[in-house]
Every structure is written in C-alpha cells, then in structure tokens.
C-alpha cells in the first residue's frame, strides 16, 4: 500500500515525500515529475500549453500508474483533486494523507513562482477562493489529515510513517 500525499501548492508534498523516502528507505514518485519527464517539459509549462483539462487527464493517468506500480510514497500536484476521476481514485485508495497548511504559509511559499501558473496568473484574493474550494475536496479525498503548518519535514515524515505502520 502506498502513502499518498495531497494538499495545496506549497504544502510541502514533494519535500515530505523525499524525506519519507530518505528517512525510511522507501521508493518514491511524484506525479508532477513523472509528467515533466514524460513530456520533456516542466509541469507548469505543460499545464499552460495543453490547458488545464488535458493536464488533469494526464495527471489522472500518472496517478493510476504509480498506484498500480505500488510505489511506496507518492507526491501529487496540488490540483489533482480538480479531476473527478482522480478524486474518486483517491477516495477508493487507503493511506491518502492531506498535508493541511494554512493559506498564508502556502502563499508565502508560492507567491511569484512562475513555475506554478495557477498561482502566478492570479492574485491573492482569487487564490484564496481556490484554496477554500479545494479544502473541501482534499477532505473528501483523504483518509488522514495531517496538520502541517509549522512542522518540519522530518516531523511530518515521522507522523505519517507512524500512521502508516499502525494501519
């Protein structure tokens, strides 16, 4: 069974997945990395070029693949829950951890980041609306909520791993 990390941009999904992989010697995959390697293009650019609808389909396929390959730790893109198919797949899969981080922490990490078009092409108010809307989907998609504001990647990895072991 995989550990799957979901959450808003800047929640720390990739960093925590890498920490889990290093600290507990686990294999890891990141759906964003998978897509950028496959298409030889950074994910942000892929999203802009293909459009969000197509990007979400590809992201769903990548999620299906890494789950079926039983990769131990899977980091996802923050918008994966925008796809109904991905949301349903996550709901049907155990060990989906939502890294819940408050909006201002995410904002400080992602504001002005041109590699994240969803954040770069909007203002703080519009992004807050998206953040609020997504909170509902992250809750629906996850089985375990991890309060992740103000915790180090090592603390988060340990907390997630202990849930995983006790499951």
Which one of 17-25, 73-81, 142-150, 154-162 is the stretch in contact with ligand S3P (CB under 6 A)?
Answer: 73-81
Between 25 and 43, whose beta carbon lies closer to ligand S3P?
A: 43
Residue indicated by tokens 């990895």? 157
Q: Considering only CA atoms, which of 127, 75, 80, 83 is closest in space to residue 105?
A: 127
Of 47, 90, 157, 160, the one binding ligand S3P by CB under 6 A:
47
* Among the listed residues 2, 28, 32, 142, the single contact to ligand S3P using CB under 6 A: 32
Cβ proximity to ligand S3P, 136 vs 162, nearer residue: 136
Chain centroid offset of residue 151 CA: 17
Phi/psi class of residue 63: alpha, beta or left (left: φ > 0; alpha: ψ in -120 to 50)?
alpha
34 binds ligand S3P (CB under 6 A): no
Q: Which of 3, 4, 28, 43 binds ligand S3P (CB under 6 A)?
A: 43
* Ranges within 122-161 binding ligand S3P (CB under 6 A): none
Q: Phi and psi at residue 131, in whole multiples of 5°?
A: -60, -50
Beta bridge partners of 29: 74
């Amino acid at each position: 069974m995989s550990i799957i990390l979901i959450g808003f941009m800047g929640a720390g999904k990739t960093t925590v997945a890498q920490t889990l992989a290093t600290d507990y010697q686990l294999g890891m995959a990141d759906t964003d990395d998978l897509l950028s390697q496959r298409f030889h293009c950074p994910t942000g650019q892929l999203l802009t070029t293909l459009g969000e609808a197509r990007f979400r389909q590809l992201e769903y396929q990548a999620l299906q693949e890494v789950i079926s390959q039983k990769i131990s730790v899977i980091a996802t893109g923050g918008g994966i829950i925008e796809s109904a198919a991905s949301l349903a797949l996550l709901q049907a899969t155990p060990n989906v951890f939502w890294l819940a981080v408050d909006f201002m922490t995410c904002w400080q990490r992602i504001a002005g980041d041109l590699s994240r078009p969803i954040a770069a092409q909007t203002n703080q108010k519009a992004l807050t609306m998206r953040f609020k809307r997504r909170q509902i989907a992250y809750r629906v998609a996850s089985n375990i909520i991890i309060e992740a504001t103000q915790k180090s990647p090592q603390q988060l990895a340990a907390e997630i791993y202990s849930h995983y072991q006790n499951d």
